Amino acid sequence: MNARTPTQPSAVPDVLRDRLAGYRWRRVTTGESGAQVWRLTADRPRPTLFLKTATGPGADDLSGEADRLRWLAPHLPVPDVAAFVVEADRAWLLMTAVPGRSVAQVLHRAGPAERIAVVDAVAAFLQRLHAVPPGDCPFPAGPMVRLAQARARIDAGLVDPADFDDERAGWTAERVWSAAQAACPTRIDPVVTHGDFTPENVLWHGGRVSGCIDAGRLGRADRHQDIALFWRGLADHGADLQDRFLSAMAPPTVDRARIDFHLLLDELF
């Protein structure tokens, strides 16, 4: 994560304030989660931490993220939940930091050979996630669940058409909704999915994938949900690298129609 604007949130719960005494705070201004995020650093041996806070529906989202991180931790490297606190309608999620830089940052600075190595490693990491038995995952997140969530976001006025991808510039949220409904797959490959598997949410350290972050949408869903978002994130690096990623994710065969569906659906989140 990139951190900017040194500051500290007001009204930090006492149980966290005492624990975080002596830490240096920097507000993280990247990301689109809707939560406020801080990066906390201190002299060794104290670990680097991240603190998220949100109110209203966002507080429920943080509770869900905490549950998902705890569930995923035995399977893949993710932030450890150091504390979760709720006061009134505000939630606070304190997490350890996963070492490394985002894959998005690495790819922008890497040469062609390193980019291929990174993409192959990310594909292998994603296959590890998708190999986790989906029957063990208590979080449903399939197309119908996600469509219902998308409809609720539209009705609540939370979808900003100005953020749509270039190919849907000028579309309304209702048009995207209708297109997503029409494209909804009748068959899926149910796996445990990250739900927001973008190059920004996968970290790289020491020549390997060191973990993933922002797992608040994790759940049982079609594997193409993760494939679609990472594939889109590779667009700035050329179609050859996108094709390399799709090839690394097969078998089974990647379904481009399902990729298109998940890209449509993601516009509403």
DSSP, residue by residue, the chain? --EES----SS--HHHHHHTTT-EEEEE----SSSEEEEEE-STTSPPEEEEEEETHHHHHHHHHHHHHHHHTTTS----EEEEEEETTEEEEEEEPPPSEEHHHHHHH--HHHHHHHHHHHHHHHHHHHTS-GGG---B--HHHHHHHHHHHHHTT---GGGS-GGGTT--HHHHHHHHHHH--S---EEEE-S---GGGEEEETTEEEEE---TT-EEEETHHHHHHHHHHTGGG-HHHHHHHHHHHPSSPP-HHHHHHHHHHHTT-
- For all residues of the chain together, what is the average pLDDT? 93
Question: For the chain, what percent of residues have pLDDT higher than 70?
Answer: 96
Domains of the chain by residue range: 3-96, 101-266
CA distances from 25 to 53, 82, 92 (A): 14, 17, 15
Of the listed 61, 196, 214, 266, which one is catalytic?
A: 196
Nearest 10 degrees: CA dihedral of 115, 116, 117, 122?
A: 90
pLDDT tens-digit series, residues 80-90: 999 999 998 89
Residue 5 pLDDT exceeds 70: no
Residue 31 pLDDT exceeds 70: no
Six token digits for residue 58? 């966002």
pLDDT tens-digit series, residues 116-167: 999 999 999 999 999 999 999 999 999 999 999 999 999 999 999 999 999 9
pLDDT reported for residue 127 = 97
Residue 18 pLDDT exceeds 50: yes
Would you place residue 2 in the very low, low, confident or very high pLDDT band (cuts 50, 70, 90)?
Answer: very low
Residue 6 pLDDT exceeds 60: no
214 in active site:
no
Output the pTM of the full model: 0.93
Residue 246 pLDDT exceeds 80: yes
pLDDT tens-digit series, residues 42-81: 998 999 999 999 998 899 999 999 999 999 999 999 999 9
- The residue assigned the tokens 């020549």 is 207
pLDDT reported for residue 1 = 43
**Least confident segment among 34-38, 39-43, 60-64:** 34-38
Chain Cα centroid distance, residue 57: 18
Six token digits for residue 138? 């208590």
Pick the CATH number of 101-266 from 3.90.1170.50, 3.90.1200.10, 3.50.50.60, 3.30.2180.10: 3.90.1200.10
- Determine the CATH number of domain 3-96: 3.30.200.20
